[in-house]
Amino acid sequence: MDARGAVERYFEAWNARDPQAVVASMAPGGTYEDPTTGGPVSGPALAGYVGGLLSAFPDLAFQPGDVLEDGDRVAATWTMTGTNTGPMRGMPPTRRAVRLDGMDIITAGADGVRTVVGFFDPGGIPRQLGMQIAVQPPDMGPVSFGTAVHVTPQRPGQPGAISVTSLHIRDAAEAAEVQERSRAVSREMMGMRGFMGLLGVTVGNRMITISAWEDPDDPRQLMQGGAHAEAADRFWGPDFTRGGATGVWSAERMNASWVRCPACGTMAVRTEAGTCRCGGDLPPALPFL
């Protein structure tokens, strides 16, 4: 099998929508990277990356374009299409179709594909799905930048406890898995007693979840089976993340919930009466998270 044959086998594996076949098309130690992977990935990490993409776009397909060969080096253009009918980056499916043009620089030989470096607009798919895009460095000196997601059952009031989970991830594949598991856990939490809201933050190589609860005992529900218990088993199992920390903090002091009065424009404490000192009606209390 020459370089072109190895490349054809590689694209056939993608179009077969089989993560293990994509890995099998690689030479021993072969690596893949693109603008979204954070560096080269291989083996199980590559399978996880492919699986995450296929989860978001089950009908994903690549249409090869121009191919230029120079010994064991191949430049191949392609057009990727798919429909977002599965979760992506922790977000629910949009049901939108996407189209992305790109190019791979590939080295390959009789043993398979040795390296793939993909080039494409990393904001192309998110923009087509209606997602927000923030252009920022991952780190700048002692400051790290990232993204966040908010989940709330619209239950106002003051929490009696805050729970925090912080995981240190190693690569893009682990980030995708944590996001997928977090989405499943969030769905469960929406129906749990005392759950008041969740803020999920990804900063650098850390993924942090902050949750508000009515009572310090409420977070114990998370360990009674379901998606959170499965995620905990994954964390304690072999070869997942660099480590992490969890904890539950009881409220020592909670200040009043403030809202702005639409009549006089001042801040007022939102009481059950729902009336400002000026006599105007106050809007409903806001969720804590």
Domain 3-128 coded CATH 3.10.450.50: yes
What digits encode the pLDDT tens for the residues 66-121? 999 998 999 999 999 999 998 876 677 899 999 999 999 999 988 999 999 999 99
**pLDDT recorded at residue 90:** 61
CATH number of the domain at 139-250, please?
3.30.70.100
Distance of CA 170 to the CA centre of its chain: 14
Higher local confidence (pLDDT), 89 or 275:
275
Give the type of residue at 63.
Q
More confident of the two residues 173 and 107: 107
| Residue 208 vs residues 7, 140, 224, 230: alpha-carbon distances, Å | 39, 19, 21, 18
Q: Would you say 65 and 78 are in contact if contact means Cβ atoms under 8 Å apart?
A: yes
Mean pLDDT of the region 3-29: 94
287 pLDDT exceeds 80?
Answer: yes
0.85 exceeded by pTM: no
Q: How far is CA 48 from CA 22, 175, 193, 201, 216, in A?
A: 11, 10, 34, 21, 36
The tokens for 72 are 């064991």
Residue closest to 155 by CA, chosen among 212, 193, 194, 196? 196
- pLDDT (0 to 100) of residue 139: 72
Q: Is 136 helix (H, G, I), strand (E, B) or coil?
A: coil
Q: Give the tens place of pLDDT for each residue, 221-247.
A: 998 989 999 999 999 999 899 999 999
Q: What are 124's two structure tokens?
A: 């192309």
Q: To 10 degrees, what angle do helices 172-189 and 43-56 make?
A: 50
Q: What is the DSSP string of 5-52?
A: HHHHHHHHHHHTT-HHHHHHTEEEEEEEE-TTTSS-B-HHHHHHHHHH
Of the pLDDT bands very low, low, confident and very high (cuts 50, 70, 90), residue 266 is: very high
Kindly state the tokens that stand for 112.
Answer: 């398979």
Q: What share of the chain is helix, strand, coil (3-state, %, to 5)?
A: 25, 35, 40
Query: How do strand 146-151 and strand 26-33 relate by DSSP bridges?
Result: unpaired
Which DSSP letter does residue 197 get? E
Collect all residues with Cβ–Cβ distance below 8 Å to 1 and sequence separation of at least 6: 9, 110, 112
Domain parsing of the chain, residue ranges: 3-128, 139-250
CA 109 to chain CA mean position, Å: 34
**Residue range 107-163, pLDDT digits in tens:** 998 899 999 999 999 889 988 988 766 666 677 777 777 788 888 888 888 899 999
- What is d(CA 110, CA 278) in angstroms, rounded to the nearest whole number? 81
Tokens encoding 30: 């072969």
